[in-house]
Amino acid sequence: MRTIGVVGLGYIGLPTAATLASCGYRVHGFDVAADVVETINRGEIHIVEEGLGALVAEAVRSGRLQASTQVQPCDIHIVAVPTPINEDKSPGLEAVRSAAKAVGPVLRRGDLVIVESTIPPRTCVDLVAPILESTSGLSHSAGEFLLAHCPERVLPGRIMHELIANDRVVGGTTPEATRQAAALYGSFVRGQIFTTDATTAEAVKLMENTFRDVNIALANEMAAICDGLGIDGAEAIRLANRHPRVNIHSPGIGVGGHCIPVDPWFLVHAAPETAQMISLARRINDARPHVVADRIVKLTQGSPGSLALLGLAFKADVDDLRESPAIEIAHLVADRVDKEVLIVEPHVDRLPNEIAGHPRLRLVDLDQAIAASDRHVVLVPHRVFSALRSTPPADKQVVDAWTLF
């Protein structure tokens, strides 16, 4: 059985490494963070994802998964590092560059490198292949090593299921790279494997997340229009979606996470003149937290009691706070109300840096918030808030932020 190196042991890399180990592969995980490596080697995990803990514990116990801060020689290297956007919305490819520089020196003739990170079109051909060539001394064009892109497609909160169940798109920089990468995914994925070239696979992934962003922007705009008309936008969208060819997404408090608010910018960067609708959708969704914060501030005006905001994660039932609109809303609201604002986020034990130290914000647990506040705005519908939302105590007001329109 071939050995597999997974570079980057975060939300994608660790579940992938553990899944491959559970399928019998010998997996070397690599991460620059020594504490992450130590945690994994103890058979523990540093992120919350249903089903991941047990799989990692078993993979480490069986000796099929080992983590290290040094990339080891392996037959296949899977790169799963973050690709954020820079301040100016250009693609942040530093981690991909570093990963390629770390893999190159241990690359051997015939090895396969697969990039799973979401990357702008042509990144495999124009950036990764040249770095691997210069750091390994092997020739990409002569086929001395193989390179492919297989974008991750899993939904946080359902990663362990979707890693196996979802269809995959695999694109190599050569037909042989495509064939070998497709064979790897075919060995553990139950969904179908579709093959193409690397640059098409890169574009496909960006299209997927951009479709969702543009659709959510449309839903947010529809909700705002309905609000102006004095009708319930969520109800109108629900009814429109009863048409067999209509599927408008849900209006929300903004679009968070490290994928959907980021990936459309890669397309805008690749084609700034052409990608008009995509950048407009980004602006609409980025403005959404301000609109929601305005409503919350209005709601609290004239009310003497304190306010509680429930949820800070970027969506329900995940612990991931990256690019979370709820954090931005908490900040905007706390700046504008003249009272303490209690924050409940069961997945963290301290406020994130963006709002830590704000004089009017305090992290409390749900019971404390219920006891201390008379007005509760749910920003993120975590399961733990379900009972409060369905049957609020008689003297308390509980509203969902996305229904304030």
By annotation, the residues acting in catalysis are: 205, 259
At 256, list the tokens.
Answer: 């968070």
Collapsed DSSP state (helix, strand, coil) of residue 37: helix
Is residue 313 a contact partner of residue 320, using CB atoms and an 8 Å limit?
A: yes
**Cβ at position 208, least distance to ligand SAJ in Å:** 4
**What is the closest distance, in whole angstroms, from the C-beta atom of residue 209 to ligand SAJ in the complex?**
5
> Distance between CA 399 and CA 401 in Å, rounded?
6
Binding to ligand SAJ (CB under 6 A) within 315-334 occurs at 315
From the list 252, 211, 259, the residue with the least C-alpha distance to 233 is 252
Write each residue from 290 to 319 as x if it is in contact with ligand SAJ (CB under 6 A), else as -, in one continuous string: ------------------------xx----
Q: Which positions from 46 to 85 touch ligand SAJ by CB under 6 A, shown as an x/- string? A: ----------------------------------------
Nearer residue to ligand SAJ within complex by CB, 104 or 251: 251
Q: Nearer Cβ to ligand SAJ, position 156 or 233? A: 156
- Of residues 274, 246, 393, 381, the one with CA closest to residue 326: 381
- Locate 127 and state its tokens: 């950036």
Confirm or reject binding of residue 264 to ligand SAJ (CB under 6 A): no
- For the chain, the distance separating the N- and C-terminal CA atoms, rounded to the nearest angstrom, is 56
Phi, psi angles (nearest 5°) of residue 29: -95, 145
Q: How far is CA 265 from CA 85, 198, 315, 337, in A?
A: 8, 19, 21, 33
Cβ pair 369, 376 in contact under 8 A: yes
Q: Which residue has the tokens 């379900």?
A: 386
Residue 59 · residue 42 · CB < 8 Å: no
State whether residue 284 is helix, strand or coil. Answer: helix
Helix crossing, 325-336 with 276-300: angle to 10°?
Answer: 40
Choose one: 68-76, 140-148, 249-257, 335-343; the region binding ligand SAJ (CB under 6 A). 249-257
Any contact of residue 252 with ligand SAJ (CB under 6 A)?
yes
Beta carbons of 59 and 27 less than 8 angstroms apart: yes
The DSSP bridge partners found for residue 171 are: 149, 196
Among 20-28, 73-81, 146-154, 383-391, which window interacts with ligand SAJ (CB under 6 A)? 146-154
Going by their DSSP bridges, the two strands 306-310 and 168-172 should be labelled as unpaired
The residue (of 123 and 136) whose beta carbon lies closer to ligand SAJ is 123
Q: Which is nearer to ligand SAJ, 60 or 170 (CB)?
A: 170
Q: Residue 169 burial (CB < 10 Å; 0-12/13-18/19+)?
A: buried
Among 152, 197, 202, 317, binds ligand SAJ (CB under 6 A): 152
Determine if 201 is a binding residue for ligand SAJ (CB under 6 A): no
Q: Cβ of residue 379: shortest distance to ligand SAJ, in angstroms?
A: 10
Q: Which two tokens stand for residue 11?
A: 């939300």
How many beta carbons lie within 10 A of that of residue 317, not counting itself?
A: 18
Binding-residue pattern over the window 1 to 20 for ligand SAJ, x denoting contact by CB under 6 A? --------------------
Q: How far apart are CB 322 and ligand SAJ at their closest, in Å?
A: 10
Stretch that binds ligand SAJ, among 27-35, 204-212, 300-308, 390-398 (CB under 6 A): 204-212
Interacting residue with ligand SAJ among 1, 33, 155, 165 (CB under 6 A): 155
Residue nearest to ligand SAJ (CB): 252
115-134 binders of ligand SAJ (CB under 6 A) = 118
Report 206-245 residues binding ligand SAJ (CB under 6 A).
208-209, 212, 216
Where along the sequence are the contacts to ligand SAJ (CB under 6 A)? 118, 152-156, 208-209, 212, 216, 249-250, 252, 255-257, 259-260, 314-315
